[in-house]
Amino acid sequence: MKKSWKIVAAMGMATTIMTAPMTINGTKDVQVAQAATKTTAITYMGQIDNPKTAIYDAPAGNKFDTVDTLYSKNSFYVHKKAVVNGVTYYRISRNENPTFGAIGWVKASTINVKKMTEQKNVVKAHPMNGKGNAYSRPDGGERNIWHSLKDYKNRQFYPQRTVKVGTAIWYYGKVGARNVWISANSLSEKVDTAGATTEAMNVSYMGMLHSTANVIYKTAGGAKLQTAGTLYTENNFYVHQKKIVNGVTYYRISRNESASSEAVGWVKSAAIELASLKAHANVTENFKLTGKGNAYSRPAGGERNIWHSLNTYKNTNFRAKETVEVNGELWYYGTVGVRNVWVSAASVTDSITQTGNTATSKTTAVSYVGQTKSAKTPIFRVAGKSSTKFLAGKSYTNETFYIYKKNVVKNTTYYEIRRSQSGDIIGWVKDKSLAKQTLKFTINTKDSFTIDGTGKGYTRPNGKSRNILYTTMKPFAGDTFKPTSTAIIGNDTWYVGQLGTKTGWVKASQVTKTK
Whole-angstrom Cα distance, residue 480 to residue 470? 17
Name the burial class of residue 453, with classes exposed (0-12), middle (13-18) and buried (19+) by CB atoms within 10 angstroms of its CB: middle
User: What's phi and psi for 306, nearest 5 deg?
Assistant: -70, 125
What is the Cα 427 distance to its own chain's centre?
A: 25
pLDDT at position 464 is 94
CATH class of segment(s) 443-513: mainly beta
483-509 pLDDT tens trace = 888 889 988 999 998 888 788 999 999
Cβ-Cβ contacts under 8 Å for 296 (sequence gap 6 or more): 236, 305, 306, 307, 341, 342, 343
pLDDT at position 358 is 40
Q: Is 344's pLDDT higher than 60?
A: yes
Q: What CATH number does the domain located at 356-439 have?
A: 2.30.30.170
119-144 pLDDT tens trace = 888 767 788 888 999 999 999 988 88
- Angle CA(392)–CA(394)–CA(396) in degrees, nearest 5? 45
Q: What CATH number does the domain located at 120-186 have?
A: 2.30.30
User: How do 449-451 and 168-175 pair as beta strands?
Assistant: unpaired
Cβ-Cβ contacts under 8 Å for 10 (sequence gap 6 or more): none
**Domains 6-117 and 356-439 alike in fold:** yes
Q: Is 15's pLDDT higher than 70?
A: no
455-493 pLDDT tens trace = 999 999 999 999 999 999 988 888 889 888 888 998 899
DSSP string, 299-350: TT--GGGEEEESGGGTT-EEEESEEEEETTEEEEEEEETTEEEEEEGGGB-S
pLDDT at position 415 is 94
Give the chain's mean pLDDT: 82
Whole-angstrom Cα distance, residue 16 to residue 8? 6
pLDDT at position 319 is 86
Where along the chain do its domains lie? 6-117, 120-186, 201-278, 281-347, 356-439, 443-513
Lowest mean pLDDT among 21-25, 159-163, 420-424: 21-25
211-255 pLDDT tens trace = 899 999 999 988 999 999 989 999 999 999 999 888 788 999 999
147-177 pLDDT tens trace = 889 888 878 788 888 999 999 999 998 887 7
For the segment(s) 201-278, the CATH number from 3.40.50.300, 3.40.50.720, 2.30.30.170, 3.30.470.10 is 2.30.30.170
Q: Which helix (DSSP H) or strand (DSSP E) does residue 208 occupy? A: strand 201-209
Q: What CATH number does the domain located at 6-117 have?
A: 2.30.30.170
Q: Can you tell me whether residue 274 is helix, strand or coil?
A: strand
Nearest to 175 by CA among 206, 146, 204, 139: 146
DSSP string, 372-440: ESSTT-EEESSTT-GGGEEE-TTTTSS--EEEEEEEEETTEEEEEEESSSS--EEEEEEGGGEEEEEEE
Q: Which helix (DSSP H) or strand (DSSP E) does residue 71 occupy? A: helix 68-71
Residue 186 region, left (φ>0) first, then alpha (ψ -120 to 50), else beta?
Answer: alpha
Q: Which helix (DSSP H) or strand (DSSP E) does residue 135 occupy? A: strand 133-135
pLDDT at position 373 is 94
Q: Is 392's pLDDT higher than 50?
A: yes
Whole-angstrom Cα distance, residue 468 to residue 33? 55
- Return the CATH architecture of domain 281-347: Roll (2.30)
What is the Cα 423 distance to its own chain's centre?
A: 20
Q: Is 16's pLDDT higher than 50?
A: no
Nearest to 416 by CA among 434, 435, 399, 429: 429
Q: Note if the pTM is more than 0.85.
A: no
Nearest to 127 by CA among 90, 101, 152: 152
